[in-house]
Amino acid sequence: DASDGKIKIGILNDQSGVYADFGGKSSYEAAKMAVEDFGGKVLDVPVEVVTADHQNKPDIASNIARQWYDTEQVDAIMELTTSSVALAVQAISKEKKKIDIVTGAATTELTGKQCSPYGFHWAYDTHSLAVGTGGALVKQGGDSWFFLTADYAFGYSLEENTANFVKENGGTVVGSVRHPLASTDFSSFLLQAQSSGAKVIGLANAGLDTSNAIKQASEFGIVQGGQRLAALLFTLAEVHGLGLEAAQGLTLTEGFYWNRDDESRAFAKRFFERTGKMPNMIHTGTYSAVLQYLKAVQKAGTDETEAVSKALHEMPVDDVFGRGGTVAANGRMIHDMYLLQVKKPADSKEPWDYFDVLDTIPGKDAYLDPAKSGCDLVK
Considering beta carbons, is residue 240 or 323 the nearer one to other proteins?
A: 240
What residues are paired with 341 via a beta bridge?
251, 356
Considering beta carbons, is residue 208 or 329 the nearer one to other proteins?
A: 208
Residue 83 Cβ vs other proteins, minimum distance, rounded to whole Å: 5
Considering beta carbons, is residue 27 or 212 the nearer one to other proteins?
A: 212
Q: How far apart are CA 93 and CA 26, in angstroms?
A: 24
3-state class of 137 per DSSP? helix
Q: How far apart are CA 45 and CA 43, in angstroms?
A: 6
Considering beta carbons, is residue 252 or 296 the nearer one to other proteins?
A: 252
Residue 247 Cβ vs other proteins, minimum distance, rounded to whole Å: 9
Cα–Cα separations (whole angstroms), residue 223 to 10, 129, 227: 43, 21, 5
Considering beta carbons, is residue 7 or 86 the nearer one to other proteins?
A: 86
CB 26 within 8 A of CB 280: no
Cα–Cα separations (whole angstroms), residue 36 to 15, 29, 212, 300: 22, 10, 39, 20
Q: Which residues contact 178 (CB under 8 A, 6 or more apart)?
A: 149, 150, 151, 155
Residue 23 Cβ vs other proteins, minimum distance, rounded to whole Å: 11
Residue 211 Cβ vs other proteins, minimum distance, rounded to whole Å: 4
Q: How far apart are CA 209 and CA 206, in angstroms?
A: 6
Considering beta carbons, is residue 36 or 219 the nearer one to other proteins?
A: 219
What residues are paired with 179 via a beta bridge?
150
Considering beta carbons, is residue 219 or 376 the nearer one to other proteins?
A: 219
Q: How far apart are CA 58 and CA 327, in angstroms?
A: 27
Q: DSSP state, 317?
A: B
For the chain, what is the largest distance between any 2 Cα atoms, rounded to a whole number of angstroms? 64
Residue 235 Cβ vs other proteins, minimum distance, rounded to whole Å: 9
Residue 175 Cβ vs other proteins, minimum distance, rounded to whole Å: 11
Residue 192 Cβ vs other proteins, minimum distance, rounded to whole Å: 7
Considering beta carbons, is residue 192 or 298 the nearer one to other proteins?
A: 192
What is the Cα gyration radius of the chain?
20
Q: How far apart are CA 350 and CA 316, in angstroms?
A: 34
Q: Which residues contact 306 (CB under 8 A, 6 or more apart)?
A: 97
CB 291 within 8 A of CB 37: yes
The residue type of 286 is T
Q: Is 50 exposed, middle or buried (0-12, 13-18, 19+ CB in 10 A)?
A: middle
Residue 138 Cβ vs other proteins, minimum distance, rounded to whole Å: 25
Residue 244 Cβ vs other proteins, minimum distance, rounded to whole Å: 9
Considering beta carbons, is residue 18 or 45 the nearer one to other proteins?
A: 18
